[in-house]
Amino acid sequence: MRVTLFGASGLLGQDLVQALAGAQLTALTSKDADLRAPAQVDRAIRNSSPDWTILSAAYTDVDGCESNRDLALSVNCDGAVNVANAARAAGSRLMFLSTDYVFDGSKKSPYETSDPRNPVSVYGESKARAEERLLQILPDVCIVRTSWLFGHGGKCFPATILKLALSRPELSVVNDQRGSPTFTPDLAIALTQLCRQNAQGIVHATNSGDCTWYEFAKEIFEVAGLPTAVKPVTTAEFPRPARRPPNSVLSPASLHHYEIQFPQWQNALRRYLAQRP
């Protein structure tokens, strides 16, 4: 299996490089090809002749997207369209990494792949628009929505609050946003399995179980053996530039269709903390 990966230096991309070690992999960063430059994207895919093109590169700063709308749309939507057009021209399948933030969070139960998109942030909008465009360009595209990524390849929630705990005896953490923390090595393995099964359509892929950010933080400190106190607060008490969906838990039904199971997020967190330097 020949695979071309855009976003090889990202949080997920670094684990995808490891998970795809058995494939003929062309791993690209933004230095190799700018998603906003169609000629660069087309050349990269044409030269590597992949069976699968995986697009995990994105502008993922959710709050930054609010003040950089044009950049968010040009990278996350227009860039994805450039990759889809190049993949179609080269006869390559396409896997696109999307987000739980395409939903508004008003649903009380986990979101199914068929639920309507209704993003409440620029980041979510850029991904939702990309999904719609890609399904038009490549009807057999595989769109994988995931959530709350954490791993060792870059900035993530556990790393951030563990660092804050070094200088603060108590942290305030939002307790009215619920989702599923997802460990990037687990996700990378699942994405590789989906490619090998020639998956298509929309798939929801997260670690099993769900929690609030407050519950996530409490578990982190408990497992790490730290005395840091965690205070639950509301989103209204902790305003951010971008709105977040209060519930963005994704149903695993689409993933189970491919007989792929994720470990519980608590199990993933323990492995993450055990591997920290």
Residues with a catalytic annotation lie at: 123
CB distance 181 to 265 below 8 Å: yes
User: Within 10 A of 236 (CB to CB), how many other CB atoms are there?
Assistant: 8
Give the whole-angstrom CA distance, residue 59 versus residue 44.
20
The phi, psi pair for 263, rounded to 5°, reads -65, 160
Burial 68-96 (b: 16+ CB within 10 A, else e): eeebbbbbbbbbbbbbbbbbbebebbbbb
The phi, psi pair for 192, rounded to 5°, reads -65, -40
Q: Which of 5, 12, 9 is nearest to 147 (CA)?
A: 12
Q: What is the DSSP letter of 209?
A: S
The phi, psi pair for 150, rounded to 5°, reads -145, 150
The phi, psi pair for 260, rounded to 5°, reads -110, 130
CB distance 139 to 207 below 8 Å: no
Torsion of CA 200, 21, 159, 176, to 10 degrees: 10
| β 201-204/142-146 pair status | parallel
DSSP H/E element including 63: helix 62-67
